[in-house]
Amino acid sequence: MGNFCACLAPKSIKKKPNHRLPNPTLPTNSSKRWTRVRSSRKDKPDAALTRDQVLAAAILFQQHQHHNARDPFDRTTSLRYPKSGSKNSNALPRSSSSRARSLTDPLLQPHQLVSENVKPEDIETNHFVLVHGGGFGAWCWYKTIALLEEGGYKATAIDLTGSGVHSFDPNCITSLSQYVQPLTDFLEKLPEGEKVILVGHDFGGACIAYAMELFPFRIAKAIFIAAAMLSNGQNTSDMFSQQAGADDLMQQAQTFSYANGNNHPPTAINLEKSLLRDLFFNQSPAKDVALASVSMRPIPFAPILEKLCLSDLKYGSVRRFYIETPEDNAIPITLQDSMINKSPPQQVFRLKGADHSPFFSKPQALNKLLIEISKIKTPS
């Protein structure tokens, strides 16, 4: 989200810089009150990787010829080399991404989970509710939804007011409660006793915090992904004002709308499309950047200024988890660490190589972490 209150007057957009912002280094004195879990593994040597790919392709081709010789062979299918004796019915789900797979973005395998001894039927809930960030919409979760559903989970993506396909004008949103209403309406209508896992990205972190205060009994866990994780009495603008500066890419990318006239506060924030890649998608596939460039909408301004009222009794009763994105140019890793230090969650994960939009840049690794978190047991 960035420093949204740095300047309330209209301004011209600076030319796109010829270089990307460097990623700040992680402080060495970070809090030890939580456990960091890395999502990547050591890369295999090139020779071993090539061997695995050749064997996987050969096995897939043989299976195809044996089971369905009349269909054309799909040469774009990506499949990891299966263990000997594995059955075709137990094949791992394939990625919804057509880009070449990175070893830091692996297919989910059961033995890779920290909570591998927890059976799916034993978890508190298998229902994820996905909440987008400012300017985004439910559309940004399309890969995450597909991967979760392939794994037997339920996924619901919410369009907040004035976002995605929601027809309301973002300039007319005057409060956080109005902006978050599609989410609170959904939670209110859940069947008695049913719980969900809330997932918030970017400004969606403040939105799920608002919902956690209202419906703590309907939320099993809350996962913040490169998100605003605020403390009581803070608003999103306060949290991000510390990163303001002449070289702040977010500040360069944003312009304000004044639907009520220039003598009144801004009503919405617009983002310069030419800077979207460097700001949000610097590690994401080009097709997803194209999708975002035609799908993103203005961000309502009033909710960003609204301070959250969070209590230990309600908001504090929900277990929180944070997923860091180290290649993030919108919410730098230093700012993510600052939020974590001020309000430590139960556990922190780091998604290696992820930009601000890991649902695009690291969909498989993100899916792995979401499932892993869903299987973390409640402390006895």
Overall size of the chain counted in residues: 380
Question: How many CB atoms are closer than 10 A to CB 252?
Answer: 20
**Catalytic annotation on 71?**
no
Compute the chain's Rg from CA coordinates: 21
| CA 303/CA 377 separation, integer angstroms | 34
Alpha-helix residue ranges (DSSP H) falling in 82-160: 142-150
Contact predicate 285/362, CB 8 Å:
no
**Catalytic annotation on 356?**
yes
Contact predicate 365/106, CB 8 Å:
yes
Q: Which of 202, 248, 278, 288 is catalytic?
A: 202
| CA 300/CA 126 separation, integer angstroms | 32
Q: Which of 105, 278, 328, 355 is catalytic?
A: 328
**Catalytic annotation on 202?**
yes
φ and ψ at residue 135, rounded to 5 degrees = 90, -20
* DSSP states along 211-267: HHHH-GGGEEEEEEES---PPTT--HHHHHGGG--TT-HHHHHEEEE-TT-TTS---
Q: Which residues are catalytic?
A: 202, 328, 356
